[in-house]
Structure 1
């Protein structure tokens, strides 16, 4: 039986996808001491599997913001295995049983897996004996098996899991996990693309309140896919900007890392922030921000819209600089500092100063300064008559760039 030709058995429910599983013919030997020459000792350790956040429809998303650090052994399982069968399917076990190390000379061999991998690992062992996977429509379980098959280098199981995942409907959790598949998995690019399509479709109206908690746990690749395909019209630009900043605050507590992600990956997708770049130096509780606005962007954006800078942070609170033209009742150019939507208002006094670099000295000249309360809900800043800003001989543009420097200092309320 073991030496005969392998028979082809169609995977349940997947004939339309052209998928077939191979019956390896060794199922009789699984956990059978008579046909086993090794005892596989499985140490299951605690790694704190990432928590799930339940959406309105009960589907979960991995919370990538939390993992436990414990590696304590929770339990030990033993399985009787055939070294020949496992080595034939897995290069990992081939090396374990034949590389001349201490483990290869002993009847008992030990592997260590995470508690979140336990069910998938047992499925993988069975697969190596019978060439089949337990029928399931749970895409998250298939991702688990796919990941463990990659870890133990079982190529035939990787291929089969990938085929099934492509054929099955995705869930928010499985889609998120497919975005992070290692490139060593043959079909990782196809699965990643399918996950992006699923997420962009599911969150087509991503600004709806019901999606906000769920979206905070979607990784960067998913957010970029959603924004790239689903940006609403100009009337929602402020809401998109606020959403992007909230997501970055949640995912990247480190301000420097957050700034890099926003500048390189997210803000270029949001039209209204494409026209302003910034270089930020932060000295809590005061900070200095340098911004650059190109003449072509100013001319092209006004008077129909406004420009927003990437967010900056002072005393732990987010702000952004906005530039826009106001036509009524006067024709003027406005530079305003506004607070990013976050967890609350700071109580105290905020001193600010807005400067512009001017010709011919190329030094920064104070345009406006003053105090305000951080509890205010409106923006604060200064205005300049539009005819003084935009002409070719304007003292404010240097090499067709407007250089703005903002100083902020927050004095908490006692």
Structure 2
């Protein structure tokens, strides 16, 4: 337990120095409290806070208190240097520090902590003390402030302040824990962006960046994540030049373009100028088309989160399109054994991301169902929504799973269906498998715990 020396605080009998505190007025555009200015960063030497410089006319007041140099030097390498190397003469009794007006209250709390170990209990004040403690290298105070702040209830105001800490203080494990807790809070509160609707426009930029950079973002597809970003940017920054400045350096690099559909990637090139997105779209196309490029990108995913697949509420698809000898679309859908067991049984459904073919939108839908005569089943449906036009092509559907032991898509398991023109949604069963054999530990349908399915649509 740290010793309590509050009896010596500002007491001439127990002090050997006078600390001269110069309080400087804020610049015209200064902010109160935590700021993004670099002057809040920890001082590497004493010059920045002791040098009189040319701004002495900004000094609004000077406070002098008696201090014990041994007590302060023990708590802080900054004060240790101030009272040794920082003194012009060995017998000099006064030492000077210069602080901003907004830092004054926090600095006095810091001095009190260095003597007695006590801190305020109000969270905004604690946050200011943490920043000033980092500036003057009082690590024990930084740790204690972070511990106290971490024990308090989180809300949006404090979460945004904690997110700003890396721009204000040195990153320590304690400070990082506050920032991490803020990110968790924001994701818990707003992670399901499908429920935000118009409320999303009230979220500040820092919160949007946290959501987009998180693997926990709840979103149907990366297409939907991109639409969310664009909607938010248009609502918050109606001026095109300002919106471009926000999208470029802040938001677009959080969008995971490699997992967007080809259709949406084409839209991106129409929505935004090529200078902003051409490199990202090109990178996404290489990721989709080239296995070696994809392997290298995934190897670098620790530094580039845009290559990491989110846990989308609608499963991603891999799609190949051909126009000869007939218009054809081959779609690959993978489902993990765990999600089949937990999300399908006893009454669940897993939908794929939608895709377009022949002028219509399609969705693959996996589900569990029970029949009194035939028992329990796994079923894969193809759902189609016509576009309402009079012209409707006849589409032939073929589907099959990849199976053991050959690990091939075995054509003898293909099921053929034909979709004809209607004005309402069309559903067609493509696969129907007995549930017990499908989900069994030694199931022939799961390869490395993944069910891989192929569906081919052909217009003849």
Q: TM-score, normalised by structure 1?
A: 0.53
Deviation at residue 173 of structure 1 after TM alignment: 2.8
Q: Distance in 2 between matches of 1:221 and 1:250?
A: 19
Which residue is 1:169 aligned to?
153
Q: Distance in 1 between matches of 2:392 and 2:91?
A: 86
Which residue is 2:128 aligned to?
144
1:176-187 residue pairs with structure 2 within 5 A?
176-179=160-163, 180-181=165-166, 182-187=169-174
Looking at secondary structure, tell me which structure has more helix per residue.
2
User: SS where residue 185 of structure 2 aligns?
Assistant: helix
Call closer, same or farther: CA 1:241–1:78 in 2, change over 3 Å: same
Call closer, same or farther: CA 1:188–1:115 in 2, change over 3 Å: same
Q: Distance in 2 between matches of 1:145 and 1:192?
A: 17
Which residue is 2:137 aligned to?
153
Residues 343-387 of structure 1, C-alpha deviation per residue, up to 9 Å, x if partnerless?
xxxxxxxxxxxxxxxxxxxxxxxxxxxxxxxxxxxxxxxxxxxxx
* Matching of residue 34 in structure 1 with residue 13 in structure 2: yes
Deviation at residue 272 of structure 1 after TM alignment: 6.2
Q: More deviation in 106-115 or 198-207?
A: 198-207
Contact kept in structure 1, 2:257 and 2:280, CA below 8 Å: no
Q: Distance in 1 between matches of 2:172 and 2:157?
A: 19
Q: How many residues align?
A: 276
Call closer, same or farther: CA 1:254–1:244 in 2, change over 3 Å: closer
1:151-300 residue pairs with structure 2 within 5 A?
151-179=135-163, 180-181=165-166, 182-204=169-191, 207-210=196-199, 212-213=201-202, 215-218=203-206, 221-224=209-212, 228-233=215-220, 240-246=228-234, 249=237, 253=242, 255=244, 258-266=247-255, 268=257, 276=265, 280=273
Q: Distance in 2 between matches of 1:78 and 1:64?
A: 29
Looking at secondary structure, tell me which structure has more strand per residue.
1
Which residue is 2:355 aligned to?
302
Residue in structure 2 matching 1:132, options 118, 121, 124? 118
Residues 226-254 of structure 1, C-alpha deviation per residue, up to 9 Å, x if partnerless?
x6434344696676233443488599948
User: SS where residue 147 of structure 1 aligns?
Assistant: helix
Call closer, same or farther: CA 1:224–1:280 in 2, change over 3 Å: same
Q: Distance in 1 between matches of 2:88 and 2:78?
A: 15
Provide the alpha-carbon RMSD of the alignment: 4.7
Which residue is 1:91 aligned to?
77
Q: Distance in 1 between matches of 2:234 and 2:116?
A: 49
Call closer, same or farther: CA 1:51–1:144 in 2, change over 3 Å: closer
Q: Distance in 1 between matches of 2:127 and 2:263?
A: 37
Contact kept in structure 2, 1:117 and 1:144, CA below 8 Å: yes
Contact kept in structure 2, 1:51 and 1:63, CA below 8 Å: yes
- Structure 2, gaps ≥5 residues long: 40-54, 290-317, 322-330, 332-353, 364-384, 394-456
Residue in structure 2 matching 1:76, options 62, 78, 85? 62
Contact kept in structure 2, 1:90 and 1:152, CA below 8 Å: yes
Call closer, same or farther: CA 1:202–1:117 in 2, change over 3 Å: farther
Call closer, same or farther: CA 1:273–1:117 in 2, change over 3 Å: farther
Q: TM-score, normalised by structure 2?
A: 0.48
Which residue is 1:15 aligned to?
none
Deviation at residue 128 of structure 1 after TM alignment: 0.5
Q: Distance in 1 between matches of 2:247 and 2:90?
A: 47
Deviation at residue 125 of structure 1 after TM alignment: 0.3
Q: Distance in 2 between matches of 1:242 and 1:165?
A: 35
Q: Distance in 1 between matches of 2:362 and 2:23?
A: 58
- Structure 1, gaps ≥5 residues long: 1-7, 9-21, 53-61, 283-287, 307-324, 333-390, 392-414
**Structure index of larger Rg:** 2
